[in-house]
Chains A and B, each alone.
Chain A
Amino acid sequence: MITTIIVGLIIALLTEETLGWMPHFAKWLIRQNAKRVPTHLIDRCEEEWLAHLDQIPGRVSKLLFSIDSYRASFKISHEHFAPNVSYWVPFFLRIIDFSYAFVFLIMSLPILILVSFLLIIKNSKEPLLTRQLRVGKNNKNFELIKFRTDSSRIGYLIRKFGLNELPQIFNVLKGELSFVGPSPETPERIRRIEQVVPDYSKRHFVRPGLTGWAQIKHPYGSSIKNVKERLFYDLCYVKNLSPLLNLMIILVTFRAVLMRKGSKPSSSDS
């Protein structure tokens, strides 16, 4: 009897709390979603949608409205570019990325520890990792994590097998990098390219990746002609974003790496 009353009270309390917080949560959700539209529309969408939210009477309706603003922001941000991408695809890809990165991290943990150990005995004065600035999704900068290697024999071997790139798995877990996507470039390089190729930042609609369509189709050369060709492949990829395409790109990358003739698994060739 007492238990029933206590449980009843707790449920009543939780319901009351949830209902009370719902409008605040809805506002928060709208602010988050408004950030996804093109930069010059962010403030407008946020205020307009919050005003709309204010005019909706019911708490549950408010919540549903705020959830639907995800769809609105997605469509607005892809309007001029990839109108055929349905809004759940990037969401789904992010979940796949995270799960694979997690499994990969656990599998490569022994190697990570071994490499860290070797580097620390070799040179314990310098920090173990280096952070390099790269341009990510929606032109936001992020830091690419790598092992710091010197010109010693161990450093050379670690670089030769690409093991210095391994910590990038943390970038994938954090959602700054994807397994598949346009190559991550430095802000200076992007600025230089944009002066000649104004559309270049359109490739930043998606997260940069360790490998990608452009990297396997046209991996070499830094002339403007090559950059334009790679941009074409990057944009093809963005327009046809799908889990299946990602899988195909990963398989082709593996084949290229195994045959030692194609792209490097990481595209940070600077």
Chain B
Amino acid sequence: MENMGTEISGADIQHTTGLSSGTLYPILLRLEQAGWLSSRWEQVNPAEVGRPRRRFYLITPTGLAKSSEVFDMFAEGAPA
């Protein structure tokens, strides 16, 4: 949650969460399709920097609201 409001790449998220890529990328796509995350390409020319562009993710207001709901739920204990 310390990354809230900043854009981070899939590699950073993997580094923080420790999820394997086979788990991480399907989740990221799903969250994006549900509107919890937005993403955009890194603003560089791949030919100039000599590597592919990274994709940056940003949490949306919807995602923020939903995630705090989830965190609250964990704080109270899951509803019976």
Contact = CB atoms under 8 A, between A and B. Distances in A.
Interface of A: 41, 44-45, 47-52, 54-56, 65, 68-72, 75-76, 79
12 contacts: A47-B52, A47-B55, A48-B25, A51-B42, A51-B52, A51-B53, A55-B9, A65-B21, A68-B20, A69-B25, A72-B22, A75-B26
B14 to A, nearest CB: 7
A75 B30 CA distance: 10
A68 B51 CA distance: 21
8 nearest A-B residue pairs (beta carbon)? A71-B22, A75-B26, A55-B11, A68-B22, A51-B52, A50-B52, A72-B25, A48-B55
A48 B53 CA distance: 7
A44 B42 CA distance: 12
Given A48-B55, A51-B52, A79 B30 contact: yes
B21 A49 contact: yes
A38 to B, nearest CB: 10
B51 A49 contact: no
Interface string B6-22: 00011100100000111
B54 A48 contact: yes
B21 A76 contact: no
Contacts of B55: 44, 47-48, 51
A252 B10 CA distance: 47
B16 to A, nearest CB: 13
Interface of B: 9-11, 14, 20-26, 29-30, 41-42, 46, 51-55
Contacts of A71: 20-23
Contacts of B46: 47
Contacts of B21: 49, 52, 65, 68-69, 71-72
A108 B10 CA distance: 52
A76 B10 contact: no
A76 B25 contact: yes
A75 to B, nearest CB: 4
A47 B41 CA distance: 10
Nearest to B33: A79
Nearest to B41: A47
A56 B54 CA distance: 13
A56 B11 contact: yes
Contacts of A72: 21-26
B51 A51 contact: yes
A41 B25 CA distance: 12
Given A51-B52, A51-B54, A69 B22 contact: yes
A51 B41 CA distance: 11
A49 B9 contact: no
A70 B24 CA distance: 12
Given A51-B54, A54-B52, A69-B22, 7 more contacts: A44-B55, A47-B46, A48-B54, A51-B9, A51-B55, A55-B11, A79-B30
A52 B22 contact: no
A65 B21 CA distance: 7
B26 A76 contact: yes
Contacts of B23: 71-72
A71 B21 CA distance: 8
Contact of A48 (B10, B20, B22, B51): B10
Nearest to A70: B22
